[in-house]
Chain A
């Protein structure tokens, strides 16, 4: 057998990481399948939940993509001050805690929100945001920016020479260049968003509810938390897993795009740039739709932030600890897997995409329930599950750079006898600092805002900040909830910024 051109590193870290990911994804699924009450079958309410899950995901993905196309087109055609900042902000919803965004949307579209105040002032009936339109609204809020970035990338990938050629031929740019691009990009974008919306729990928890607007994830939560019907929760978890695997398979096959990709600052020189006001109106509308809810969080949250009850600060501390642990854990696992490389690692890296927090949580609950009080394990389980669910994103960020370091310096290091921990410490870590910092920040922010597993497990004493905030909202303490939201938002962005910054600072590569 040939010597590896890559320095030798120990096998156990990657094996341990792989084992943990397998335990938390397939292991918990096994526990769920074993406990599921297959005999009883699905009740009519369960079928309604499945229908609602699929319909709201279809609607959310469809509307996001439909709205994103004209906005992305406008952004690709226009150059204006603040364009780069706006495009950067379009990446922010990925880091935004769901519950914070929901509160912001409520401040705009909710019962006492500015939209209804306007309607009442004009003599109209106020509208209610709860139900399917609320769920879809929140999903569009989250995924419209993602869709715009995806599709904008497609637009900017069209070489400018083609626009020049089309202009000299006086051909329709739309039919010749844009339509083929959209036909390639839009289905992928649609599938990715469809998948994200299928597994969305926190939005359904806050905006949906009731028999007419319950997702499968929400039904799992209710079966476990309120009815304590383990068999039914397990059965629903199997259904959810099947839904996700199907959609994840489609999405993964359909896309190799990186939603966090860079290079979006280019403006393609175009020759069909009439109707500028329409473009600017579209860009402004999209920016307002995304920014006003966030501005409302700040406006409503700022006054009360010093009056937050002590329990909220305690929850914030818990959240920071969980997020830190989860981020370090996630990045260590990703690094171990990336150093090992290979096809098996690639499969393990995408496996969590098909898992949902609630399915994993239910499985963990079933595994732990006979031995310990679930609340005692709430924070540890949340940390592990968050780390696993963030793993695909971290791995996607780290693995290409590790592979590059191997390709560039593997042989040199091997011939110098630099291997094992020395190779990792001396060569790999300094060279992957940037993606490592980014991935750590991403994992920390995702964990910080997570409202999924924790809701299954936690009692009063184990509340994280998102859960405490949700409970404030449930008690109609909206002022305090807004302040908690602001705190959560600030902490999430701060954690991301510190890690990302740490990776970039004097990284003279």
Chain B
């Protein structure tokens, strides 16, 4: 379980309080209006924003003071998820070894991950020689090889077309979830949540609700969500 206990996040005027537990091995969608703090919550879990109060734990291990790289958490951002000067295989390899000094077995794992996301033979290409969808697949392959159990998705597929985005969401479900990862995904599209998320929370008015099954939340939305959905 990934828990936020009495977590208080402050950035200037912005305030978000979270007391919430995300179930292990499930995909949880974070829904809510822009500026409500969905990305801020992910930033705190990833270690980019230190809370003023409360703690973040994973399987009863306190992460609150750990550096971003020392947490069992990997993250995809809205953009810049690949280093443009490194090849696809190197970008994936960073998920195993931050210094890219890979053993033969690790090289093998990188290739396996690339073929797992349908990029067999693309390992030597640089991101500029890949399409937008292929770039997203490389980033997903990096999440796959990594032994970090928690995956945070801050709308990494927002720039893709609808069909391509759905394809990526299906990969998240079919590969990451199947590999046992705990996934938190920010989305502003309820259809994304319905497509793959087991659970969903609402981030609005400075608080985070407890996760409940996605369909339950969306079929009978609380007033704040109803106002957002329109």
Contact = CB atoms under 8 A, between A and B. Distances in A.
Contacts of A417: 68-70, 98
A415 B85 contact: no
A2 B40 CA distance: 13
Contact of A427 (B46, B73, B75, B83): B83
Contact of A416 (B49, B50, B95, B128): B95
Nearest to A1: B50
A478 interface: no
22 contacts: A2-B49, A2-B50, A3-B50, A3-B68, A409-B80, A411-B46, A411-B68, A411-B77, A412-B75, A412-B81, A414-B68, A415-B46, A415-B47, A415-B69, A416-B69, A416-B98, A417-B68, A417-B70, A418-B94, A430-B85, A509-B84, A509-B85
Contacts, number: 70
Given A409-B83, A418-B94, A422-B99, A508 B69 contact: no
Nearest to A421: B99
Interface string B59-101: 0000000011110011101001101111000000011001110
B48 interface: yes
Contacts of A2: 48-50
Most B CB within 10 A of own CB, among A408, A417, A422, A430? A417
Contact of A411 (B48, B67, B128): B48
Interface in A1-28: 1-3, 5, 8
A426 interface: yes
Contacts of A415: 46-47, 68-69, 73-75
A227 B81 CA distance: 65
Most B CB within 10 A of own CB, among A1, A8, A416, A418? A416
A509 B82 CA distance: 12
Q: Interface extent on A, as a size class?
A: 20 to 34
B85 A431 contact: yes
A3 B95 CA distance: 21
Interface of B: 46-50, 67-70, 73-75, 77, 80-81, 83-86, 94-95, 98-100, 126, 128
Q: Is the interface of A mostly helix, strand, loop or mixed?
A: helix
Contacts of B128: 508
Contacts of B83: 409, 412, 426-427, 431
Contacts of A3: 47-50, 67-68
A217 interface: no
Nearest to A427: B83
Given A409-B80, A412-B77, A412-B81, A5 B48 contact: yes
A289 to B, nearest CB: 44
A412 B80 contact: yes
B70 to A, nearest CB: 7
B57 to A, nearest CB: 17
Interface string A368-394: 000000000000000000000000000
Nearest to A418: B98
Contacts of A5: 48
A411 B100 CA distance: 18
Given A415-B74, A422-B100, A426-B83, 7 more contacts: A5-B48, A415-B47, A416-B95, A417-B68, A418-B94, A419-B98, A508-B126
